[in-house]
Structure 1
Amino acid sequence: MPVVDAWMQHPTLRHSNHEMFASLRRWTGMRTLEEELPVEVTLAALAAADVDTGLSSAWYGPEGALITNDEVAGFVARSGGRLRGVAGADLTRPVAAVRELRRAVGELGFVALRIIPWLWRLPPTDRLYYPLYTACAELGVPFCTQVGHTGPLRPSETGRPIPYIDQVALDFPELTIVCGHIGYPWTTEMIAVADKHENVYIDTSAYTARRYPPELVAYLRGRGRRKVLFGSNYPMIEPSRALEHLDELDLDQETAGLFLSDNARRVFRLDGRP
């Protein structure tokens, strides 16, 4: 069945070769790039796993943009409709960040905003995020973020679902929040927050199906079937590798369809429906 990859990025040299990803390269076997990667390589990796839509994200951090919104827009334009853009923003410039988000959604057609808290060393409850939460709610686009421990050698505290995601969801009940990377080792916390808040979701990026924690698999099979989205974290993990052992999860056809595609299409309004 067709798949939506809710967390991936078409990399730039600045992104893939950054020193903070050295530990991920060691774990995954991913190599540094010698030259810019053609979009066609990413599209082939998506096609190998029947991914018909990849949500390709920008990356902004304190030292500058590793993948700019305009670079993402260029990748999307060359993808033949296979990629959709996810914006990034500079947290330290709140007014400019909101202006840039509005441009990315209104002019570039992006479908979400993603901020990586550990990159900024600021938890999601920091006041610098709040103008962007308001803008996301007004624009009707999800806020995507990372939960759980960090693969790069950076502090993991900012990835705790409780208190951070829980508090943001309380402060912004109109905001849709998609929490990538499962939340391990706080997976049970992440499930509790998703249960508690109607607009909080989990994506499975950075984990292969065989490595999903048992509590997440049970949630996905049961009451969380409309709460969990597939993500790969490409190019760190290719979608085909992330889904290699999907059959071992014993998902019925409806649940598999929700997990692989339908939940993401609904949450990110990929078919244009509110």
Structure 2
Amino acid sequence: MTIDVWMQHPTQRFLDNDMLASLRRWTGGAMPDGDLPIGVTIAAMDAADVEFGLLSAWRGPNGLDLVSNDEVAGWVRAHPSRFAGLAAVDLDRPMHAVRELRTRVREDGFVGLRVVPWLWRLPPTDRRYYPLFAECGELGVPFCTQVGHTGPLRPSETGRPIPYIDEVALDFPELVIVCGHVGYPWTEEMVAVARKHENVYIDTSAYTVRRLPAELVAFMKTRTGQRKVLFGSNYPMIGHAHAVDGLGDLGLSDEARHDFLHANAERVFTKLEGTRP
């Protein structure tokens, strides 16, 4: 059984956005065109024995709403045994953002907040994030974000683990932070920050297991790292079957593999309890 902690069910406006042009080039045009029924995403999960996925909403500045919270809530309501939601909010409206997050968690059962810093061109240390960090702590849900270079055609600076994730973890030691996309080319920094801070984690989204940096694989084989790394695909940019292909070649123990594929996600996203059969 596998839990995917970073995936999207793509809308047409998500797929059509110009910033994804580089991803289309990298995937050889493999990303879908047009709105897809949610059954297509479920079939992709089934092909790789991915039982459950966290669907991300995507919101950016100036009213950019690529995948709305309402759309995610609808998919979750239709398939509660397969999905939970990660909320997106408007950083330019901090109090509205806090209320939106609170509503989505309490009323729609969302299990976390995701903010993609490069989309806003604001690092996680910007003051607009801080009310949301406090609210995540009060609600008991993780803050999920992106680290490393930016595949889409946007600047990469906001994805540096040091200083940004390190400083947030120092200011909010109780906040659970899940850092997606492994932090490359700063993966060693990301590993150091995850090792340093009790509540900082890494997910492997946007990388197939065959392409995981060696320093991350080595970390996953340590006692600390075994509990710190979660599986993510970044579907539809990477299909689930492609994402997990070669997992047996990493040399993980059975226990480490179990933690990576689902036990860590169940422990980190505490709101998942009771959402799955």
Contact preservation (8 Å) 1:39, 1:79: no
Which residue pairs with 1:232 in the alignment? 233
Tell me how far 1:140 sits from its aligned partner. Answer: 0.2
Give the RMSD, CA atoms, in angstroms.
Answer: 1.2
1:142 matched to 2:142: yes
2:33 and 2:187 map into 1 onto residues whose CA distance is 37
- Name the amino acid aligned to 2:239: E
Which residue pairs with 1:255 in the alignment? 256
Tell me how far 1:58 sits from its aligned partner. Answer: 0.2
SS at the partner of 1:107?
A: helix
Tell me how far 1:31 sits from its aligned partner. Answer: 4.8
1:155 matched to 2:155: yes
Which residue pairs with 1:181 in the alignment? 181
Which residue pairs with 1:271 in the alignment? 273
2:127 and 2:192 map into 1 onto residues whose CA distance is 24
Which residue pairs with 1:37 in the alignment? 36
* Aligned residue pairs, count: 272
Tell me how far 1:35 sits from its aligned partner. Answer: 3.1
Q: Percent identity between the aligned chains?
A: 65
- Name the amino acid aligned to 1:126: D
SS at the partner of 2:110?
A: coil
Which residue pairs with 1:200 in the alignment? 200
1:272 and 1:80 map into 2 onto residues whose CA distance is 10
Which residue pairs with 1:166 in the alignment? 166
Tell me how far 1:30 sits from its aligned partner. Answer: 3.8
Which residue pairs with 1:16 in the alignment? 15
Q: Deviations over 1:55-97 (max 9, x none)?
A: 0010000132111101000111222510110100000000000
1:66 and 1:116 map into 2 onto residues whose CA distance is 12
- Name the amino acid aligned to 2:176: T
2:259 and 2:143 map into 1 onto residues whose CA distance is 20
Scaled by the length of structure 1, what TM-score is found?
0.97
Scaled by the length of structure 2, what TM-score is found?
0.96
2:233 and 2:80 map into 1 onto residues whose CA distance is 20
- Quickly say closer, same or farther: Cα 1:50–1:198, change in 2 above 3 A: same
1:8 and 1:35 map into 2 onto residues whose CA distance is 17
Tell me how far 1:33 sits from its aligned partner. Answer: 4.7
Contact preservation (8 Å) 1:17, 1:32: no
Structure 1 gaps, min length 5? none
Contact preservation (8 Å) 2:31, 2:237: no
2:226 and 2:127 map into 1 onto residues whose CA distance is 33
Contact preservation (8 Å) 1:59, 1:68: yes
2:10 and 2:97 map into 1 onto residues whose CA distance is 22
Which residue pairs with 1:102 in the alignment? 102
Q: Deviations over 1:23-64 (max 9, x none)?
A: 001101245654311000000001111111100010000132
1:68 and 1:81 map into 2 onto residues whose CA distance is 20
SS at the partner of 2:92?
A: coil
